[in-house]
């Protein structure tokens, strides 16, 4: 079981009351999945930028 601060509990309760979340568990699951997706996308952008820089350096040495 995870205990959330009162402020976060109120946000979740409001989302549920407005029909935006079926349950607290569903809300937290969706929030975590979005965070994971965003982190993975950011990591992919960083890798692509690093690869582009590496290719630029190796391409300029020819």
Is 1 a domain residue? no
Residue 16, pLDDT score: 97
* Tokens encoding 34: 């979005």
Is 38 a domain residue? yes
Is 32 a domain residue? yes
Is 17 a domain residue? yes
Tell me: pLDDT of 61 over 60.
no
Q: How far apart are CA 49 and CA 51, in angstroms?
A: 5
Quote the domain boundaries for residue 43.
6-60
Residue 41, pLDDT score: 97
Q: How far apart are CA 61 and CA 35, in angstroms?
A: 40
For helices 24-60 and 6-17, what crossing angle results, to 10°? 100
- The arithmetic mean of pLDDT across residues 23-45, rounded, is 97
**23 band by pLDDT with thresholds 50, 70 and 90:** very high
Report the domain count for the chain.
1
Tell me: pLDDT of 47 over 60.
yes
More confident residue, 47 or 62: 47
pTM: 0.72
């Amino acid at each position: 079981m995870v205990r959330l601060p009162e402020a976060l509990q109120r946000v979740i309760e409001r989302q549920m009351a407005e029909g935006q979340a079926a349950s607290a568990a569903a809300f937290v699951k969706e929030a975590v999945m979005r965070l994971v997706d965003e982190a993975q996308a950011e990591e992919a952008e960083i890798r692509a930028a690093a690869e582009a820089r590496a290719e630029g350096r190796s391409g300029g040495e020819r």
